[in-house]
Amino acid sequence: MARNPLAESVGVDAAELADLIRALKEKGETVATAESLTGGLVAAVLTSVPGSSAVVRGGIVVYATPLKHELAGVDDELLAEHGAVHPDVAAQLADGARVTCRAAWGVGLTGVAGPDPQDGIEPGVVHIGVSGPEIAEVHTIGIDGNRHQVRAGAVAAALRLLSTLVDQQD
């Protein structure tokens, strides 16, 4: 297996990443992302695999809160009531990625990388949403470390969750 320096830099195993791309290809399924906290890193890591263009439809970077609604379809009332860092926002980001990019799978991420809290939420809180054919899940995790470590951990966790759910689908 060839090295994948980008994947390695965020703690993603290159072989497991290649297996995810291969599984999506074999199923004839595609994936898209809507990312806030990770700023496009999930899409970048996915596309670091040769041949990934067969399954990666695209990605939306919605770092600014209003863009979460405007580009990814996150409910305005949800954002007004709970802010941008909330499990339901991650779920809606995942759905928005699927719809906007016309993909079978959507991955949505929001959280606080730090160093400062956001809307009273401490750095390291990450919400990951994945939606796909007949399945949707949101996981909330805590990641210790600096800004890079939080973002890298979020990417790795999102790709693990996506891989697990893709493998569960028959």
Q: How far apart are CA 56 and CA 126, in angstroms?
A: 23
pLDDT > 90? residue 169: no
Taking only the tens place, the pLDDT of each residue in 95-119 is 999 999 999 999 999 999 999 999 8
What are 141's strand-pairing partners? 126
pLDDT for res 1: 67
**Rg over CA atoms, the chain:** 15
Strands 135-142 and 31-35: unpaired
Q: How far apart are CA 61 and CA 27, in angstroms?
A: 26
Q: Is the dihedral of CA 20, 47, 100, 140 positive or negative?
A: positive
Taking only the tens place, the pLDDT of each residue in 24-64 is 999 999 999 999 999 999 999 999 999 999 999 999 999 99
Measured from the Cβ of residue 65, the count of other Cβ atoms closer than 10 Å reads 18
